[in-house]
Structure formats: structure tokens, C-alpha cells
């Protein structure tokens, strides 16, 4: 039984020694391949090429980031310009509304001046008619007084002597008083007519001023409408430029995102390969250590067995 056990142990030891030798040979081969890969120019060129591509991609990423920052700055500037254009449009819209209000007020004042002018014309015509009527009445009264004075003078001539109590001076005083009253009335009407003419002139001046203000308001309104149309066109152009730049920036960002994902996938695959190589190497080391321990164990057993076998002979 001991011989059979020793024979079995020898067979197992031979198998383990052969396996250890085979693994050592494979380890040497792998070590040589690693050294050749490290020292060969192809590996260096591959690594340099990979590092160069990685550097180029990093530079492209930095350039894309700078372009993105520039585009964002341009977008912010365009947004500020659009806001300024909007505020200016609002101001011009408010100015336009104010001009419309001023125009409506000027139109109202113009209508009132026209009505006042029509009323003043009617009043002047009415006053002229009244003056003419007063002049006619005055002429008729004067003619009647002249006739009365003539008839009275004829009746006086028929008498040889005039009464003591009658004085022809009273008739002349009466005529003078009537003349003064008529002159006062005429002066009063003339004063009223001059005042009405002055009011009419003032109304005409106000009317001309209102017409001029209306024309200026129309011109200002047309100018504001032209500016508003130009600002609308500029706003549309700025919005189109902003949308185009946003689309271009989005496309470039998508391209760089795809490139980054591809690099990340390649990085992950390299990590997996490196981890696999390290794991295989670690397994080989563990296997080598276990085999070394088994060899040392079997060697110790053989030494103990040989010692035990030599002791009886001694």
C-alpha cells in the first residue's frame, strides 16, 4: 500500500512538475511578447498614434468648447440687441400712440376753431345786418326830423311873430343829441365788429397753427412708421441669424457628443482589455504560487519518506 501511494504521489508530482514547466514556458513566452511589444516600434507607433488622436480629439473638444462659449456670447449679445429693439419698438409705439392722441386733440381743436369761425362769421353777418338796419332807421328818423323841421319852419313863417315860449334851439339840440346817440351806437357797433374781427383773426391763426401741428404730427407719424418697419426687418434678420447659429451649434455639439461617446466606449473597451490581462496575469501568479506550494509540499513529503526509509537501514 505504501508503494502504491508513493507511486501515485510520484505520478501526481510528475504531472504537476510538467504543468509547472509548461506554465513557466508560457509565462516566458508571454514575457518575451510583452517585452517585444514594448520595445518594438510598431507598439510605440500605435501608442503614439493613439495618444496623438487623443490629443487631437482633446484639442477639438477644447476648440468646440471655445466655439460654444463664443456662440453663447454671441447669442447673449443678440438677445440683448433683440431686447433693445423690443424696448425701442415699445417706446416708438408709445410715441406713436401719443402722436395719435395729439393728432386727435388737434383735430378736436381744429373742429372747435372751425365752429368758432363759423359762429363768428354768422355773428359778424348778423352784426352787419343790425348795423345796416340801424343806419336805415337812423336815416329814416333823420329824414322824418328834417321833414318835421321843414314843415315847422314853414308854419313859423306863416306867423308874423313867434311865441315867446317857443325856442327853435330845442329842435337843434334834439337833433344834436340824436346824432350823438347814433354816433355812440355806431362806435359801439364798430368796436364790437373790430373785436369780432380780432377774434376771427386769432381763430384763423389758431386754425393755421393746428393745421401745421397736424402736418408735423403726420410727418412724425410717417417717420416713426418707417423706423418701426426697419426695426421689424432687423429684428427678423437677427432672429434668423440666431436660429441658424443655434442650429449649427447644436449640430456641432451633437457631433462632438458622438465623438466623446465613441472615445468613452474605446476607453471602456481598453480598460476591459487591461483588466482582463491583469486578471489573467494574476490568475497565472496564483496558479504558479499554488503549484510552488504543492511542489514544496511534495518535496517535503518525499524528503520525510526517504528519511523514514533510511532510518531502519541505519
Mean pLDDT of the chain: 78
Measured between alpha carbons, how far is 179 from 239 in angstroms, rounded to an integer? 88
> Sorting pLDDT into bands at 50, 70 and 90, what band is 289?
confident
In a domain, 21, yes or no: no
Question: Would residue 166 count as lying in a domain?
Answer: no
pLDDT at 160: 43
Predicted pLDDT at 163: 46
Characterize 51-74 residue by residue with b for buried, 16 or more Cβ atoms within 10 angstroms of its Cβ, and e for exposed: eeeeeeeeeeeeebeeeeeebeee
Residue 171 lies in a domain: no
Say whether pTM exceeds 0.85: no
How many CB atoms sit inside 10 A of residue 217's CB? 20
Cα–Cα distance measured from residue 182 to residue 136, given in angstroms and rounded to the nearest whole number: 11
Domain span including residue 250: 40-157+176-308
The percent of residues in the chain predicted with pLDDT above 90, rounded, is 0
On whether residue 214 sits in a domain, the answer given is yes
Q: pLDDT tens-digit profile of 225-242?
A: 888 888 888 888 888 888
How many distinct structural domains can be found in the chain? 1
User: How buried is residue 131: exposed, middle or buried, by Cβ count under 10 Å (0-12/13-18/19+)?
Assistant: middle
Asked whether 138 and 182 are in contact (CB, 8 A), the reply is: yes
CA neighbours within 13 Å on the CB side: how many for 172? 5
In a domain, 5, yes or no: no
Q: Is the pLDDT of residue 159 over 50?
A: no
CB 225 within 8 A of CB 89: no
Q: pLDDT tens, 200-214?
A: 777 778 778 777 877
Torsion of CA 302, 306, 308, 313, to 10 degrees: 170
CA distances from 258 to 57, 72, 268 (A): 12, 21, 15
- Report if residue 34 sits inside a domain: no
Closest-CA residue to 106 (of 252, 248, 225, 209):
209
In a domain, 24, yes or no: no
Quick count: other Cβ atoms within 10 Å of Cβ 140?
10
Predicted local distance difference test score (pLDDT) of residue 45: 65
CA gap 41, 241 in Å, rounded: 51
What confidence score (pLDDT) does residue 164 get? 43
Amino acid at each position: 500500500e505504501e508503494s502504491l501511494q508513493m507511486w501515485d504521489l510520484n505520478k501526481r508530482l510528475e504531472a504537476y512538475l510538467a504543468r509547472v514547466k509548461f506554465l513557466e514556458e508560457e509565462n516566458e513566452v508571454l514575457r518575451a511578447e510583452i517585452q517585444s511589444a514594448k520595445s518594438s516600434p510598431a507598439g510605440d507607433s500605435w501608442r503614439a498614434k493613439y495618444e496623438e488622436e487623443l490629443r487631437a480629439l482633446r484639442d477639438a473638444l477644447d476648440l468646440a468648447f471655445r466655439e460654444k462659449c463664443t456662440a453663447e456670447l454671441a447669442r447673449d449679445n443678440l438677445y440683448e440687441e433683440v431686447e433693445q429693439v423690443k424696448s425701442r419698438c415699445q417706446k416708438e409705439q408709445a410715441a406713436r400712440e401719443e402722436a395719435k392722441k395729439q393728432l386727435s386733440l388737434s383735430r378736436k381743436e381744429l373742429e372747435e376753431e372751425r365752429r368758432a369761425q363759423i359762429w363768428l362769421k354768422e355773428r359778424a353777418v348778423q352784426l352787419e345786418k343790425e348795423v345796416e338796419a340801424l343806419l336805415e332807421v337812423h336815416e329814416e328818423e333823420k329824414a322824418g326830423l328834417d321833414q318835421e323841421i321843414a314843415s315847422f319852419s314853414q308854419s313859423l313863417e306863416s306867423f308874423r311873430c313867434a311865441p315867446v315860449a317857443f325856442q327853435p334851439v330845442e329842435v337843434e339840440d334834439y337833433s344834436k343829441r340824436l346824432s350823438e346817440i347814433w354816433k355812440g351806437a355806431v362806435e359801439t357797433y364798430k368796436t364790437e365788429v373790430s373785436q369780432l374781427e380780432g377774434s376771427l383773426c386769432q381763430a384763423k391763426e389758431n386754425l393755421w397753427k393746428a393745421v401745421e401741428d397736424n402736418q408735423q404730427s403726420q410727418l412724425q407719424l410717417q417717420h416713426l412708421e418707417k423706423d418701426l418697419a426697419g426695426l421689424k426687418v432687423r429684428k427678423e434678420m437677427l432672429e434668423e441669424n440666431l436660429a441658424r447659429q443655434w442650429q449649427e451649434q447644436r449640430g456641432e455639439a451633437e457631433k462632438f457628443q458622438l465623438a466623446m461617446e465613441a472615445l468613452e466606449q474605446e476607453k471602456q473597451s481598453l480598460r476591459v482589455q487591461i483588466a482582463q490581462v491583469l486578471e489573467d496575469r494574476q490568475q497565472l501568479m496564483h496558479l504558479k504560487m499554488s503549484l510552488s506550494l504543492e511542489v514544496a509540499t511534495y518535496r517535503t513529503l518525499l524528503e520525510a519518506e526517504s528519511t523514514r526509509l533510511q532510518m531502519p537501514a541505519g
